[in-house]
Structure 1
Amino acid sequence: MKKIKSAPFFIGTEEKVYVAGEGITRQFVGYDDTIMMVKVMFEKGAIGYQHEHFHAQTTYVVSGKFEMTIGTETKVLQAGDGFYTEPDIIHGCVCLEAGILIDVFSPVREDFIATI
């Protein structure tokens, strides 16, 4: 695998915003071959469709309200909450109130890097 890494500093107002889905945008905060942090902005009603991947993921809710499903369990999460999903577990969310999530993946999401 080719060695990759982001710039050492993330200045939100200066970083490119990428479309990640209908009503969903993201910015890449920092990454290397082993880890990636992504800021994901959701409009109310946007859907993070059910999916799975081989990456471990932990997410922190900065703002808004989200109905999050991991496997067969669903909870409503809001600012200050978070979740962890191990690799290969189906998960997704519905944004109930516009907000921001901070996703951390290990290893890096090469599929995301391909969009930069």
Structure 2
Amino acid sequence: MSEIFLHDSEQQWTDLGEGVMRKILVFNDELMLMKVRFKKGAIGALHQHPHTQISYVSAGKFRYHINGVDSILTAGDSCIIDSQLIHGCECLEEGELIDSFTPYREDFVQST
């Protein structure tokens, strides 16, 4: 579990390679918030997980693929990804996502 208050400037980015970086923000056992930065052309490979995910595009332009449906999302847009749906994205213009997961991504916490 994270602290109640989190200051963005004190958190470190994790370089995931190939133009993608992640910063875990606040979380508890039920919910997690994080930032993900993408360079233009970077790919969030197709995958699935048991968590429900909401993504908010805070900057940039992304092509999302969720459960066989594609959509272009730009700053201010969002999407919800239900548990076990196959999904991924491609960054069309350098940008940043704000992602939330329920329950929290224990695998992400263990890898930091």
Match of 2:89 in 1: 93
State how far apart, in whole Å, the 2-side matches of 1:102 and 1:22 are: 19
Alpha-carbon shift at residue 80 of structure 1 (Å):
0.4
Does residue 1:55 correspond to 2:51, yes or no?
A: yes
Post-superposition Cα deviations, 1:82-110, rounded to whole Å, max 9, x if no partner, equal 10010000000000000000000000101
Does residue 1:111 correspond to 2:107, yes or no?
A: yes
Question: What's the secondary structure of 1:112's corresponding residue?
Answer: helix
Does residue 1:68 correspond to 2:64, yes or no?
A: yes
How many residues align structurally? 112
Alpha-carbon shift at residue 14 of structure 1 (Å):
1.8
Q: 3, 9, 13: which one pairs with 2:5?
A: 9
Spell out structure 1 runs of 4+ moving beyond 4 A: none
Report percent identity of matched pairs.
Answer: 43
Q: Which amino acid aligns with 2:78?
A: G
State how far apart, in whole Å, the 2-side matches of 1:83 and 1:102 are: 11
Provide the alpha-carbon RMSD of the alignment: 0.9
State how far apart, in whole Å, the 1-side matches of 2:74 and 2:67 are: 19
Alpha-carbon shift at residue 11 of structure 1 (Å):
2.0
Alpha-carbon shift at residue 39 of structure 1 (Å):
0.5
Alpha-carbon shift at residue 22 of structure 1 (Å):
1.2
Show structure 2 runs of 5+ residues with no match: none
Post-superposition Cα deviations, 1:54-104, rounded to whole Å, max 9, x if no partner, equal 000011000000000001100000000010010000000000000000000
Task: Report the TM-score when normalising by structure 1.
Answer: 0.93
